[in-house]
Amino acid sequence: MNLHLFEDTLLDGQEVRFGDTVARAIFVTGGDVTVDGTVHSTDDGFMTDGPVTLRAGAAGASLWRWDLSGDLPPMPPERTVAKLAGPVPAHLAGPGSFLRLDSVSFPPGGTAMLHTHQGPGIRCLREGGIRIDTDGHSTSYGPGGAWFEDGPIPVFAQADLVLHSRFIRAMVLPDALRGKSSINYENEEDRAKPKSQSYRSFGEIGLSL
């Protein structure tokens, strides 16, 4: 099972149907889309499973779309770019797990101290800048930059020193973490320290077969 991140661009009023998948998370980066009578505008996110039909608003829409599936989902003929993919371990790839979509924000100079998560995910930077240190490597990202974290390998994050920074994240996690934080700090002394990051949840959806 793999988690895929796509970037979709829909034209004015365009209707597009995305096919079957185990679970899906969508974040609207520009414009708006209507799904089952509900309008989702810029900076809104939502969850679906199975096939879904989206209709772009009068000004079109741009999306980040995370699809969880066994194979690479077929890309529709519209303007779609495959940005990144990463593996989901077998013990998290079915019932008993869920897909979460949220955002993580940092003030200028904010950090996420050395930590792990209980499941993998793909992050994509919405604004600002961030440096990710993990597994002996250090990589900096600007807006639109995406990276995969497998969960068990510790990560340290340093946000831009001047700008507010924020990334959008889709993660696969065990059901025991529904509505709860997935982060675990590696160093005991960091657990009681004030944390600079803040979160906004867009939803969670259980995995179907």
CATH code for the domain in which residue 36 is found: 2.60.120.10
User: Rounded distance, CA 154 to CA 136, Å?
Assistant: 10
Q: Which residue is it, tokens 């077969």?
A: 209
Q: Is residue 138 situated within a structural domain?
A: yes
Greatest Cα pair distance, the chain, in angstroms, is 53
Overall number of domains in the chain: 2
- CB 37: neighbour CB atoms within 10 A? 5
The band of 50, judged by pLDDT with boundaries at 50, 70 and 90, is: confident
Which helix or strand (DSSP H or E) is residue 2 part of? strand 2-10
Does the structure show a pLDDT above 80 at 125? yes
- CB 185: neighbour CB atoms within 10 A? 17
The band of 128, judged by pLDDT with boundaries at 50, 70 and 90, is: very high
* Predicted pLDDT of residue 75: 62
Q: What is the mean pLDDT of residues 126-139?
A: 96
Query: Is 92 in a helix, a strand, or coil?
Result: helix
User: Rounded distance, CA 209 to CA 95, Å?
Assistant: 7
Domain span at 59: 2-71+79-84
What's the token pair of residue 15?
């209707």
* Predicted pLDDT of residue 149: 97
Give 142-186 pLDDT, tens digit per residue.
Answer: 999 999 999 999 999 999 999 999 999 999 999 999 999 999 999
Q: Is residue 67 situated within a structural domain?
A: yes
The band of 6, judged by pLDDT with boundaries at 50, 70 and 90, is: very high
* Predicted pLDDT of residue 77: 56
Query: Is 191 in a helix, a strand, or coil?
Result: coil
Same domain, 113 and 200: yes
Does the structure show a pLDDT above 70 at 73? no
* Predicted pLDDT of residue 69: 86
